[in-house]
Amino acid sequence: MNDPVTGDLILVLNVGSSSIKLAVFDSDLTETLTGIAEGIGGAGHLKLGSVKTVQDFPDHDSALQAVLSGLEVNGLPFSRFRAAAHRVVHGGTELTEPARVTPGVIAAIDRCLELAPLHNPHNLAAINTLARLVPGLPQCATFDTAFHATNPDVAARYALPAGIEARGIRRYGFHGISYASLVRHMPGLTGAALPGRLLALHLGNGASICAIRDGRSVATTMGYSPLGGMTMGTRTGEIDGNAVLRLAEEDGIAATHHLLNKESGLRGLSGGLSDMRALMEADTAEARFAIDHFCYWAIRHAGSLIAAMGGLDAVAFTGGIGEYAAPIRARIFQGLAWLGAQMNEAANTRNDTRLHAKESAITGWIVPAQEERMIAADALRLLNATQP
């Protein structure tokens, strides 16, 4: 692992609380390998490509070392890598662009730990561990909040005193890497320029919507944390602050945190199901209501975001639900019929790229999520910018 760094591959790492996801890209941004180390904190497994091995991962450090060893076994020693690129969840107000990792960037990520206590510590630990294991390897970071840094202050500020806002209590928005990727790749899929007023829906277990005006985020549904906005797989979405205070007073902060983030949303409404496929297959009254709730709030939030853009030219769906759940897309797109949106039902059923009917006043599209490729592209751009 101490070979000189002379290669041209990019290793993308997405480090979570119990897993490390990875992808390898060449200099043309072609994905050559994917993998995951799962089960950190106990008995787990490492999967690289189609090969899966059972291993113990007592901590993130051991899991990352296993990833590096596994890559070497697969003919990918670190002499073949030009850089490692990390998904970092929170960049706060300081880190609003992808960045080469420097001591200053590490310090700035550290200052964001309280803003993303379940993610940033692991993201930062991976950066520090990799720096120790492969000290000559350049590292880059792309921040999930950065795309929304272009939101105006009236969208980002809560109506709180300045002293509270100074403590970091403001709207940040998330899924920014997904939206940045969508902006980058959509023209190549549609064969046309990026629409001026684009409503982008990242629909999965976590779900949000973004108003994109001339390629820049001007409003989004998630706020201080990923809890806000839409009904999600296990998160409440919007809920009155006084309701949260009552729950915390009666049930305790830890129980309320678990309820709002892990036991609510589609799971709470349906009585246990958080996966959209399972909900559609269940076809119970509770499952149908959960789906109704998801679609209703998607359409209702969409109306607010359309107002923030001053109109609408196109809708783009991404994420697992957005790309594959045709009935959900149909309901949301049809909820915009008052703007002249008309769906091509056959195209929607086939999950075609183009979803709208010929006579539709609003275009509709599926844009597959390519977050890892976006992170690799950011790293290559940063590396090339520093070349003599």
Determine the pLDDT at residue 388: 53
53's CB contacts (< 8 A; 6+ apart) are 45, 46, 47, 70
Same structural domain, 210 and 106: no
Same structural domain, 120 and 218: no
pLDDT tops 90 at residue 4: no
Q: Which domain holds residue 71?
A: 9-143
Q: Is 343 helix (H, G, I), strand (E, B) or coil?
A: strand
**Whole-prediction pTM value?**
0.95
Same structural domain, 216 and 70: no
Final residue in a domain of this structure, among 128, 143, 158: 143
pLDDT tops 80 at residue 377: yes
Final residue in a domain of this structure, among 111, 128, 143: 143
Same structural domain, 267 and 363: yes
Q: Is 104 helix (H, G, I), strand (E, B) or coil?
A: helix
Render pLDDT for 118-139 as a digit per residue (tens, 0 to 9).
899 999 999 999 999 999 999 9
Per the structure, the count of domains in the chain is 2
Same structural domain, 207 and 352: yes
Same structural domain, 137 and 198: no
CA atoms within 13 A on the CB side of 80: 14
Same structural domain, 135 and 37: yes
DSSP string, 35-94: EEEE-TTEEEEEEETTEEEEEEESSHHHHHHHHHHHHHHTT--GGGEEEEEEEES--TTT
Active site residues: 144
- Is 161 inside any structural domain? no
- Is 186 inside any structural domain? no
Of 211, 190, 199, 202, nearest to 315 by C-alpha is 199
- Is 384 inside any structural domain? no
Determine the pLDDT at residue 6: 63
- Is 175 inside any structural domain? no
Render pLDDT for 168-225 as a digit per residue (tens, 0 to 9).
999 999 999 999 999 999 999 999 999 999 999 999 999 999 999 999 999 999 999 9
Tokens of 37: 């180390």
Determine the pLDDT at residue 340: 98
- Is 164 inside any structural domain? no
DSSP string, 147-200: GGGGS-HHHH--SS-HHHHTTT-S---S-HHHHHHHHHHHHHHHTSPPPSEEEE
Q: Check if the beta carbon of residue 86 is closer than 8 Å to that of residue 127.
A: yes
Determine the pLDDT at residue 308: 98
- Is 79 inside any structural domain? yes
Render pLDDT for 286-324 as a digit per residue (tens, 0 to 9).
999 999 999 999 999 999 999 999 999 999 999 999 999
In degrees, rounded to 5, the angle at the alpha carbon of residue 138 between the alpha carbons of residues 135 and 143 is: 120
Render pLDDT for 261-293 as a digit per residue (tens, 0 to 9).
999 999 999 999 999 999 999 989 999 999 999
d(CA 305, CA 160): 22
Q: Check if the beta carbon of residue 144 is closer than 8 Å to that of residue 222.
A: no
- Is 178 inside any structural domain? no
Same structural domain, 13 and 77: yes
Mean of pLDDT over the chain: 96
Beta strand pairing status for 42-48 and 51-57?
A: antiparallel
User: How does residue 42 score in pLDDT terms, banded at 50, 70 and 90?
Assistant: confident
Determine the pLDDT at residue 266: 98
Alpha-carbon torsion 148, 149, 155, 157, what sign?
positive
Determine the pLDDT at residue 2: 47
Same structural domain, 212 and 328: yes
Determine the pLDDT at residue 3: 47
Determine the pLDDT at residue 186: 98
Distances in whole angstroms, Cα of residue 240 to Cα of each of 168, 173, 209, 295: 20, 18, 20, 20
- Is 158 inside any structural domain? no
Same structural domain, 208 and 329: yes
d(CA 323, CA 288): 20
Same structural domain, 111 and 252: no
Same structural domain, 224 and 131: no
Query: Can you give the CATH number for the domain in which 209 is found?
Result: 3.30.420.40
Determine the pLDDT at residue 387: 66
Render pLDDT for 80-99 as a digit per residue (tens, 0 to 9).
999 999 999 999 999 999 99
